[in-house]
Structures are given as C-alpha cells and as structure tokens.
Amino acid sequence: MTEEAIMLMEPGAMVNRGQTDCLAHEPDLRETCEDIFLAQLVLAQKQEQVPNVEAKLTEFHDRVDKHRRMRPIVWTAIAMAAATLAAVFFLRPKEQPAEAQPTAVVFAADNSQQQVTVETVSGTPVPVKVVRKQDKADATVVIGQTELQIEEQLALSVPQGESLQLLLPDGTHVYLHPGSRIVYPNVFTGSSRQVKLTGEAYFCVAHDPQHPFLVSTPQGTICDYGTEFNVSARTDGLTEVVLVEGSVGVTPTDGKEQMLVPGQKCYMEESQCTVEEANTDPYISWRDGYFHFEETTLREILEELGRYYNYNVECPNSYLLNYRMRFIIPRNQDVAYAVMMLNRMGKVKVSLRGNTITVE
C-alpha cells in the first residue's frame, strides 16, 4: 500500500478518475497519502521562502480597510495654515461607516404569479387542473383536451415552487423539476416519439422499440430505446444526461451520437460529448419523491431548495457555501421541514423569515 501511495503522490503524476475514486473507499491508503502530504508540509516549513508578512499586512489594510487610509489625509490637512482651518473642518470627510457585509444572495424567488400552464405551441392557453395529494411529492395534471387537434403540440411549463409528474400519451412518465418546460404532442404519431425539454426532468420511457423516444434540448438530442434516464438542460450552454437503466444515444448539435450504458453521465457542450461514471442514486431518489444530495456543495443544495419551494436564499458567510454534504429528505414536505432537517446536520444555522431562507 505504501507503493500505491507513493505512486499517487508522485509530483506531476497524471492521476485518473478511478484512482481518485479509490481513495474515497480506502481510508488506509488515504491516510498514507496524508502522511506524505504532511511530510511535504513539514519539510517545506523548514525551507520555504515566505513573503514579507509586515508588507503583506500593510498591503491588506490599504486594499480592504479604507477606514484606516483616510486618517493620514485628515491629519495633513489640519497641519496646514490656521487660516484654512474652517475650510478643513467642513472639508473633512465624514466618518465612513463600517463596510456593510455583502449579503450573498444564493437564490432569488420568482414573485410573479406562479402557476403550471399549458398552451398550444401557437400560444393558445389550454385548461389545466393541477392535482396535489397530501403525501405525494409531485403534483399531477389533468389537461382539458376537447378543443385540440390530433397531434397538437402542447407546451407545459412548471414554475419555481412546483414539481410535476406528467404521463405522456404513450405511457412514459416524466418527473419535471421546478423551472422546467416540456413540449410534447397530445398523441404520438409517426416513426418516433419526440419531445422538447428545457430545465430538468427524469424520464421513465414506455418500452416501444419500434418507435424511439427522442428528447431534444438546446444543446442536442437524446435518443432513448426503452429506459430510465435524467436530463438536465438548465444552465446556458450545458446539458447533462444520466442513464439509470436501458440504453440511450446522446447526439450533441452538430456532433456524433454517443451511446451510454447505465451508470454513465454525459455532458453535452458545444457539439462535444464527455462521458463519465455517475452515481445514479440521487436521480432515482428524485423519481421516488426525495431530495438526494451526495457530497454536494451547500450552494447547489440551497439553489435546488430555493427553486423547489420558490424561496429567496441568502448566505452572508459565503465561505460556508463550499461545504459539501450528504443530505436526503422526502420532497413531499414543506419548506419548514427542509429547514429543520438542514439544521439537524449541525453544520449551519438556517432560519426562515417571510419568503427568505437565511443561512449562517
């Protein structure tokens, strides 16, 4: 094992993903690597050239603490001829208040009217009833179909603060995250079943090998052959596909199709596809009605919670946002529950005020 540690810690060594993942599962190996790190640190402390700390301290205060810098100017002014004293008195800069701490806004709630809407692609609204059951994490919709043509394209929008489970005409289940929009026909005809997605959704596709299921996103298309997968087409310029079960082909716009096997994640960005191993548990958990964060930064967790409950999130101590945690809770509860469970982790203090979650 010392051999492995020596290999991993070699300066300039090209380490691969498998090796770093190994470390997570082998505490003995990790501790041995820590020993090498500590040895480096101890030896460096004896010989490392440290910059002039006094100079750095002065530089620091000049940059950060304008309060102190002002004083020399005032003293010089007062030292001038007495005749100008009155002028100096009035010219004297007002005491600067202590610099207000920048409050980091992690997520902004959408305060406009938030509703699930369905419209035809030409913009005609379609009557929709949202059904919410007490213990269910996701609402479902009943769509008024009487006025529609066969194969009319419908656009369903899920706002922040809502999550929906949608049943497509072929029996496919789509679990839509808050802030998502899906376009689909009220009846599937033709040789393939096509939908368009922005935002994030988990798909359980009804098996039909004769008619491949296609999801098109701004970055590219996912072609499914009867399976379960998650698509995140949220951030500008990046789409992420995680395959849980079955088989999909991912084709970025202007790129080549990349096949995935279960347990793989594909990033589509600018006609490129990058494939990686992924833990599928968090995605399956969403389908089953849970939030599931695995070694996720607090920043990401708070963004998701803010979007799901449509609450503002603020965190003045932004260094906390880099903290990673494992956090799993049911989604069919209210925001107070999520806040309580976050507090139970014992790492941060979370409070609710109005429609804002504050973390410190």
Of residues 111, 134, 146, 322, which one binds other proteins by CB under 8 A? Answer: 322
Residue 36 near other proteins by CB under 8 A = yes
By beta-carbon proximity to other proteins, the closer residue of 65 and 281 is 65
- CB under 8 A: which stretch of 39-47, 134-142, 251-259, 325-333 binds other proteins? 39-47
Number of residues that bind other proteins (CB under 8 A): 55
Residue 79 near other proteins by CB under 8 A = no
Residue 55 near other proteins by CB under 8 A = no
One-letter identity of residue 70: M
By beta-carbon proximity to other proteins, the closer residue of 20 and 235 is 20
Q: How far is the CB of 34 from other proteins (least distance, A)?
A: 6
Of residues 75, 319, 334, 346, which one binds other proteins by CB under 8 A? Answer: 319
Residue 75 near other proteins by CB under 8 A = no
Token pair 């500008």 is found at: 236
Of residues 62, 65, 151, 270, which one binds other proteins by CB under 8 A? Answer: 65
Residue 20 near other proteins by CB under 8 A = yes
Residue 130 near other proteins by CB under 8 A = no
Residue 47 near other proteins by CB under 8 A = yes
| Contact map string, positions 289 to 318, toward other proteins, x by CB under 8 A | ----------------------------xx
Calculate the alpha carbon distances from 181 to 108, 160, 195, 216, 315 in Å.
19, 11, 10, 12, 29
Residue 3 near other proteins by CB under 8 A = yes
By beta-carbon proximity to other proteins, the closer residue of 264 and 310 is 264
Q: How far is the CB of 8 from other proteins (least distance, A)?
A: 7
- The binding site for other proteins (CB under 8 A) comprises 2-3, 5-6, 8-12, 14-17, 19-20, 23-24, 30-45, 47-48, 50-51, 53-54, 56-57, 59-60, 63-65, 99, 101-102, 317-319, 322-323, 360
